Amino acid sequence: MKDNYPPDFKYEDFGPLFTAKFFNVSQWADIFQASGAKYIVLTSKHHEGFTLWGSEYSWNWNAVDEGPKRDIVRELEVAIRSRTNLHFGLYYSLFEWFHPLFLEDKSGSFQKQKFPAAKMLPELYELVVKYQPEVLWSDGDGGAPDSYWNSTGFLAWLYNESPVRDTVVTNDRWGDRCICKHGGYYTCTDRYHPGHLLFHKWENCMTIDKFSWGYRRDAEITDYLTIEELVKQLVETVAYGGNLLMNVGPTLDGTISAIFEERLRQMGTWLKVNGEAIYKTHPWRFQNETFTPDVWYTSKPKEKLVYAIFLKWPISGQLVLAQPTAIPGETEVKLLGHAQPLFWTSLKPNGLMVQLPRLSIHQMPTRWGWALKLTNMM
């Protein structure tokens, strides 16, 4: 701020600069639908306390009173529910950097609960009742315990009495030391990847921009993850039992920049072909292939299906899978997006070698990773 804004420029002076002049909610919804996502999470309020709806508890510091003069949350909620099949979710920061009541509570080691009673809890109840999110993504405990936030009381209401009690899903950030211990699903850390199978649902919340959760005007092309890197993140995450939450930062004009839109649409293109190996799958008994690098497994146990997702097409045209055990005469191997079953041979003591079809680059089902569908495996 000192380097780029006038003297005495304060944080609240950013409010009028946030215009959302080109915010086209239908376009946003169409991009999210095209991405292949199944749910979205909008940041309804971050740590600076600016709410993207006209909260009566955030007087004159919200998107209806200041800046856009629009209820961003409502507009997006309506568009998502009317134009897409995505589940609508909201992120909410518990604490606020500048709020005098929070700072007062903090200075007293959180012995008093002035801020949760006057601001946070009423606002959170308002948000849930008004917009009925199916995902409630809590964040920013400010170093305060869950007892300060009255998280257990709020969650009891959320799951037993609220309008979304039968549909809502929550994460694990409801107070100091709650993270990765409690919650409908774990987030643990930003860009979380356990590196092993977790037996509790978890989410890898990460950014397409390697360095920022917001939009950066000075970002260079190498600062963005490539579609190959994003597909790898998705595949690894799902193989270990997680969901992927990919963050994009819109501009102050309310637009999603072309680089973000391209990545989202590319992911959707990939999922149109390979989504069967991602959606509604479970981790298999092996998460990745030990013999051939960059091969990851998912499964559908009820259908007796195993999917082997490989990120590098072998030059030899032969893919060796050491983990599955095939049954001669029963096991069938198909490449998703390619009609004909593939020829395979058993390896000893276990495994199989799959003969991939000879395809030109234009005949490839996708360009950034492929999935084999293995039927009737042992």
State the pLDDT at residue 1: 86
State the pLDDT at residue 378: 73
CA dist 347 to 193, 323, 326, 327, 343, Å? 32, 10, 9, 11, 13
> Which residue type sits at 53?
W
pTM of the model: 0.95
State the pLDDT at residue 86: 98
State the pLDDT at residue 232: 98
State the pLDDT at residue 43: 98
State the pLDDT at residue 350: 87
The end-to-end CA distance of the chain, in Å, is: 61
Average pLDDT along the chain, 378 residues, taken 10 residues at a time = 91 95 98 98 98 96 98 98 98 97 98 98 98 98 97 98 98 96 95 91 98 96 98 98 97 97 98 98 96 97 96 96 92 96 92 96 95 91
Which residues does residue 186 pair with via DSSP β-bridges, in sequence order?
202
- Per DSSP, 209 falls in state B
State the pLDDT at residue 215: 96
State the pLDDT at residue 225: 98
| Torsion, CA 6, CA 9, CA 15, CA 21, rounded to 10 | 0
Rounded CA separation 324/310 (Å):
14
Q: Which residues are CB-neighbours of 255 under 8 A, at least 6 positions away? A: 22, 23, 24
